Structure 1
Amino acid sequence: MKAWLPTILRGLLLLVLVTFLVTPASFEPLLRPLVQPNAPAIYDQGSLLDLTLLHLRTVFIATLVATVIAVLLAILVTRPFGAEFLQLSRSLVNIGQTFPPVAVLALAVPAVGFGEKPTLIALFLYGLLPIFENTLTGLTNLPRSVMEAARGAGMTDFQRLLQIELPLSLPVIVAGIRLSVVISLSTATIGSTVAAKTLGEVIIAGLQSNNLAFILQGGLIVGALAVLIYDGLSAAEVMLTRRAGST
């Protein structure tokens, strides 16, 4: 029973989250004590479900692009012809961690305008570092015996990369993606300050109207999404690790 408890709790969290997003009005009695008389207890300036889906879409696009760029950079610097670009690549992927997200948005808005685009730029820059470093770690810590066996079998460099290096490194890469997604989920909320459609819109509306229920709704939805996605990617990482071990 103890082994199944975390799974049951995650299932309950998912059920509560979906129920709240589909029928938020059913939770109004729980949130009513948190607001002033005659103030709305449920966010009423838009659909919570639509904002959640838009929030997830923004995070997905930014993470996908960051994953492609970070993995390609890591592959480049782990090849003999690209080893000299390691320090330059590290400097590039660290840019996102050097500037606060608000500063990135402020710099991006004049270039690309308001909306989703500056948010995507900020999330992309913030997501590069963990994916790059994890991919680099995975590609540079492969079992020597496996690599020598692949060379002995006559595999080309490209074949070794696709059939040996990337599959064995995949669990470590997924761990980096997991960290990047969790960072992006929370960071995406500030995108609403530049007119991006994210759950930050709910939190900002709560701050402007002194409505604690709105703030709680936005924060709890983001927190629940982070927990569920983190656990899902952790399960995928464990599965890939077992598969790589058996291989």
Structure 2
Amino acid sequence: MTGRILLAGAAAFLLAFLIAPASFAPLFQPFTRNGAPAIYAQTSLLSLTLSHLAIVAAAVAGSTVVGLVLAVLVTRRAGREFLPLARTVTAIGQTFPPVAVLALAVPLMGFGTGPTLVALFLYGLLPVFENAMAGLTGQPPHVTEAARGMGLTPGQRLRQIDLPLALPLLLAGMRLTAVISLGTATIGSTVAARTLGEVIIAGLLSSNTAFVLQGGLVVGILAVLIHHGFQGLENRVRRRMGVD
């Protein structure tokens, strides 16, 4: 109960701050120097937050689709030989830092949202792929035998048994990808993507700690809310499936 109250309080604080940030100026004023503004006002914090979330959502959706398709492919009999290749491809995003991916993508795609989406997409592939594969291959033996006894085709077993049972682990992979992408997306502002990194960078360039705190605070609260949102969904799915 206490955790829910704290989450609700954090969500209410975040919403109030994004709607009327100027009213929180006294809270951040002690972190300014030489009469600098306490609240970032060059761009609407609400619009930056919505843009940040949209970029993260698009990247997570892309990583989930591709990661799940690859996991299904390599866990079928015809695709098992491609497992090493799939693991190599999905590990690329974790091998190359997102900053390096941005540096490579900008000459090809130009400045803006595109390079950031590519970096987040690649960075989020591995958690989704590994969790989906674990869910698809970790079925209890009695479930496998029951499916065979029912005469289900491979396609029917995938749709009716494997994917539903793998859903909690898949959601866990999406949760990890979403939280990581939420923080990593801030670097997108270095290539002109509209993210909350704009506030943090403005604070660093002007030595205004208040701006840095505002950007970090919004990202941090969003990360906590998204983490607990996915976790609640995972628990709900597990309860419906009768899995502890």
TM-score normalised by L of structure 1: 0.97
- 2:163 counterpart of 1:166: yes
Greater shift, 138-147 or 71-80, is seen at 138-147
Q: 1:230 corresponds to which residue?
A: 227
Amino acid of the structure 2 residue aligned with 1:212? T
The Cα of 1:241 is off from its aligned counterpart by: 1.1
Amino acid of the structure 2 residue aligned with 1:184? S
Amino acid of the structure 2 residue aligned with 1:109? V
Q: 2:125 corresponds to which residue?
A: 128
| Count of matched residue pairs | 243
- 2:99 counterpart of 1:102: yes
Q: Which whole-Å deviations, capped at 9, do the CAs of 1:51-72 have from their partners, x for residues lacking one?
A: 0000000000000000000000
Q: 2:2 corresponds to which residue?
A: 5
Which runs of 5 or more structure 2 residues have no equivalent in the other structure?
A: none
- Aligned residue among 28, 42, 46 for 1:45: 42
Q: After the TM superposition, which segments of 4 or more aligned residues of structure 1 sit over 2 Å from their partners?
A: none
The Cα of 1:38 is off from its aligned counterpart by: 2.5
The Cα of 1:118 is off from its aligned counterpart by: 0.1
Q: Which whole-Å deviations, capped at 9, do the CAs of 1:174-231 have from their partners, x for residues lacking one?
A: 0000000011001000000000000000000001111000000000100000000000
Q: 1:28 corresponds to which residue?
A: 25
What SS does the corresponding residue of 2:165 show, helix, strand or coil? Answer: helix
Amino acid of the structure 1 residue aligned with 2:24? F
Amino acid of the structure 2 residue aligned with 1:128? L
What SS does the corresponding residue of 2:43 show, helix, strand or coil? Answer: coil
- Aligned residue among 80, 83, 87 for 1:86: 83
What is the distance in 2 between the residues matched to 1:116 and 1:151? 47
- Aligned residue among 189, 192, 216 for 1:219: 216
What is the distance in 2 between the residues matched to 1:67 and 1:79? 18
Which runs of 5 or more structure 1 residues have no equivalent in the other structure?
A: none
- 2:239 counterpart of 1:242: yes
- Aligned residue among 173, 179, 184 for 1:182: 179
What is the distance in 2 between the residues matched to 1:112 and 1:233? 32
Q: 1:118 corresponds to which residue?
A: 115
- 2:229 counterpart of 1:200: no
What SS does the corresponding residue of 1:37 show, helix, strand or coil? Answer: coil
What SS does the corresponding residue of 2:242 show, helix, strand or coil? Answer: helix
TM-score normalised by L of structure 2: 0.98
RMSD: 0.7
What is the distance in 1 between the residues matched to 2:93 and 2:34? 43
Q: 1:55 corresponds to which residue?
A: 52
What is the distance in 1 between the residues matched to 2:231 and 2:158? 24
- Aligned residue among 141, 146, 150 for 1:144: 141
The Cα of 1:80 is off from its aligned counterpart by: 0.2
